[in-house]
Amino acid sequence: MNIDIQTTKFEALLAENAQLKKQYQQFKIKERYLKVINDFATSILPHNTVEDIVWEVAKNAIAHLDYEDCVVYLIDEKREYLIQMAAYGPKNPIELDILNPMKIKIGEGIVGTVAKTGIPEIIADTRKDPRYIVDDQVRLSEISVPIVTDTNNVIGVIDSENSKTNFYSQADVTILKTIASITATKILKAKAREEMERSNKALEQFAYIASHDLREPLRMIASYAQLLEKNYQSVLDERGEMFLNFLMDGAKRMNLLINDLLTYSRLKKKDEELQLIDLEEVMEEVLTNLEFIIEENEGVIEKEPLPKIRGYYSQTVQLFQNLINNAIKFKSEQDPHIQIKVKDRMSEYLISIKDNGIGIAPEYHEQIFQVFQRLHNRNEYEGSGIGLAICKKIVENFGGKIWVESEQGSGSTFWVTLLK
């Protein structure tokens, strides 16, 4: 073979080999990127408070990206300052303990600029950047990436410094941007949860105090109305007697409302662990408690064998009692026919309570689970409008869900998931 042809072929092979090596290196970098993101996503997933999340971010940068340090700042409520929330590395050797938290005005320094512009920055040599703020000691390069939400709102900055110049590359920006985006979602969710919990607590406290304080004056109204009835009925004319009846009726209804509200506000999640509860036993008690109204309405209850679930006994009785009571109370022209079925779904049971009652129009399917939400006036059906709110709270305390499927006029099915 001609030597020239051989050389050309060899060169071509070499070129191809070099190209493949380059491609392989690029895939290796991408794979590393995926691994870092995967490790990060997995480790941050179980964390649900803002504090835990920011510390996990700071720790992870050190663990997976070989950084010397990592600092997470969040923007304060007035959007004036970045507050250092977590720092990991030599500056802060003790976990969860910021020795000297920094506060940087938005627009000032490198992190302040990144918070303002929302654009990531790499500083190859901090000595040449007048914005560099010396914290504990001078470090020669820095990377600063904004934490941006889906709606393009900057809520903080992830920042790292290194003792060498030119330490950070564009690949670090790419990784940190993805990390920052996951972080933003987690932080927003944690904040929403904190807000919700605060609001729930305030609501519960209000409900408890209000219902508790209302009991005493109500008792007084009711007992004086009874005294009037007992001792002065003979001197009351027809109108007077009618007014007195309204008064007693009102007091009775208010008593029902207050009792239900008290029950609702007392349904706290207990510290003790959920117990294994036999639903057959629960149902037996419910059917005994409702014996009278079932018979009176000629109701038929059909049920599959029921399993054991995780919960607290008396709350489970209350849950099923409210649901079955409603299924009878909101009956249609036909006699009530209730079917209780169970589906086994991995870690939980899905229980359905189906009735042939008046049904609920789809636009009310969420509303009925809120306190005091009723679809009928009290002349049509007695009730406080708290029963389903109590059910929802109980089910959620047990780690489950409750919802309804129904069309007006064609019965309702309430679905409940309960842990095994």
- For ligand ADP, which is the closer residue by CB, 73 or 414? 414
**Cα 327 off chain centre by:** 29
Q: How far is the CB of 333 from ligand ADP (least distance, A)?
A: 14
Q: How far is the CB of 369 from ligand ADP (least distance, A)?
A: 7
**Cα 189 off chain centre by:** 8
CB closest to ligand ADP, residue no: 383
Beta strand 103-105 pairing with 121-123: unpaired
Q: How far is the CB of 297 from ligand ADP (least distance, A)?
A: 13
User: Can you read off the two tokens belonging to residue 345?
Assistant: 């779904």
Q: Which residues here bind ligand ADP, judged by CB under 6 A?
A: 322, 326-327, 330, 355, 357-360, 368, 373-376, 383-389, 412
- For ligand ADP, which is the closer residue by CB, 53 or 402? 402
- For ligand ADP, which is the closer residue by CB, 17 or 367? 367
User: In degrees, to the nearest 5, what angle opens at C-alpha 240 toward C-alphas 234 and 243?
Assistant: 130
- For ligand ADP, which is the closer residue by CB, 142 or 355? 355
- For ligand ADP, which is the closer residue by CB, 120 or 357? 357
Q: How far is the CB of 349 from ligand ADP (least distance, A)?
A: 20
Q: How far is the CB of 415 from ligand ADP (least distance, A)?
A: 12
Q: How far is the CB of 388 from ligand ADP (least distance, A)?
A: 3
- For ligand ADP, which is the closer residue by CB, 64 or 331? 331
- For ligand ADP, which is the closer residue by CB, 172 or 355? 355
Are 420 and 275 a contacting pair, CB within 8 Å? no
Q: How far is the CB of 33 from ligand ADP (least distance, A)?
A: 51
Are 369 and 392 a contacting pair, CB within 8 Å? yes
